[in-house]
Structure 1
Amino acid sequence: MKITIISVGKIKEKYLKDAIAEYAKRLGKYCRLEIIEVADEKTPDQASETVEEGIRAKEAERILKNIKDDMYVITLEIQGKMLTSEELADKIETLGIQGKSSIAFVIGGSIGLGKAVLDRSDFALSFSRMTFPHQLMRVILLEQIYRGFRIINGEPYHK
């Protein structure tokens, strides 16, 4: 199975880069992992909804260039469906059984995802009703994907 993480913005903090590298290494045992960073747009303070919509549209265009037709797309959205770790594992396993060998997880920028990406999404996933920095969300997502593969393979994981 191929897992692609498409994320808006670059990771600058060393501790986050280290955590991402560690989970990428661990996931190598279970899947082919690709992490794609697309450029983010600068959002001015007190930007109008129209300006924010334009920013999300530009970022969406960059994201969509990296989504292939055969990918099952899971967008991370505050209003998405919340799953337990076991339910996420089951979702990944079920997609594999159904022949979906390529899953793309999409993490938006600081003001969220554009409509074009939301329209392309096959499943909206929420980790919480709280807002997290999108850089930290990448680490959390990778940890949950790793945990999911351990659950799928009947391996021990921390509860």
Structure 2
Amino acid sequence: MNINIICIGKIKDKYINEGIAEFSKRMTSFANFNIIELKEYNKEDSMNISIDKESQDILKQLSKSNSYNILLDLNGKELSSEDMSEYIEDLKNKGTSSINFIIGGSNGVNKELKNSVDMKLKFSHFTFPHQLMRLILLEQIYRWFAISNNIKYHK
């Protein structure tokens, strides 16, 4: 299976990069894993223009593959770790070979992107910094695979 995290911007904090490196290494046991970092525009443009530019860049990435696309979204579906593990296993059993997890920019994504994905997933009612969310997502992806492979990581 191929797992991609498509996200906006680069990680600046060393401790987050170290966590991402650790879970990226662990993921190699389960899947081909890749992080695709796209340009952050909000420093140069108005908010609506930056949202559209970032969303279009993400849509270009999605058009390059025949993947199942999951957008992290505040209005998305909430699942437990066990349920999400089962959901991914079900996708694999149905022949899905690639999953893209999408983290939009700090200002969000446009309606076109929201309407283009296969699933919207909500992690929490809390607000997380985008850089930290990338690490949280990666840890959860590892957890989902650990659950489905009966590895004693998830308690």
Normalising by structure 2, we get a TM-score of 0.94
CA offsets 1:58-111 (integer angstroms, 9 cap, x no match): 001111121134110000001111110001101111110011110000001111
Q: Work out the CA distance in 2 between the residues paired with 1:64 and 1:129.
A: 26
Q: Is structure 2 residue 14 aligned with structure 1 residue 14?
A: yes
CA offsets 1:109-145 (integer angstroms, 9 cap, x no match): 1111122211111000000122111110010000010
1:157 match: 153
Q: Identity across aligned pairs (percent)?
A: 47
Which one of 88, 93, 110 corresponds to residue 84 of structure 2? Answer: 88
The 5-angstrom pairing of residues 65-104 of structure 1 reads 65-67=60-62, 68-104=64-100
Two-structure CA RMSD over aligned residues (Å): 1.5
What amino acid is aligned across from residue 137 of structure 2 in structure 1? L
Q: Is structure 2 residue 124 aligned with structure 1 residue 128?
A: yes
Q: How many residues align?
A: 154
2:47 match: 52
Which one of 53, 59, 70 corresponds to residue 64 of structure 1? Answer: 59
Q: Is structure 2 residue 133 aligned with structure 1 residue 109?
A: no
Q: Work out the CA distance in 2 between the residues paired with 1:17 and 1:116.
A: 31
Worse-matched range after superposition: 53-62 or 16-25: 53-62
Q: Work out the CA distance in 2 between the residues paired with 1:73 and 1:158.
A: 25
Q: Work out the CA distance in 1 between the residues paired with 2:32 and 2:112.
A: 26
Q: Work out the CA distance in 2 between the residues paired with 1:115 and 1:55.
A: 14
What amino acid is aligned across from residue 150 of structure 1 in structure 2? A
Q: Work out the CA distance in 2 between the residues paired with 1:84 and 1:126.
A: 10
Q: Work out the CA distance in 2 between the residues paired with 1:12 and 1:31.
A: 26
SS at match of 1:106: strand
Q: Work out the CA distance in 2 between the residues paired with 1:71 and 1:35.
A: 15
Give the gaps of 5 or more residues in structure 2: none
Q: Work out the CA distance in 2 between the residues paired with 1:134 and 1:119.
A: 21
Q: Work out the CA distance in 2 between the residues paired with 1:133 and 1:56.
A: 17
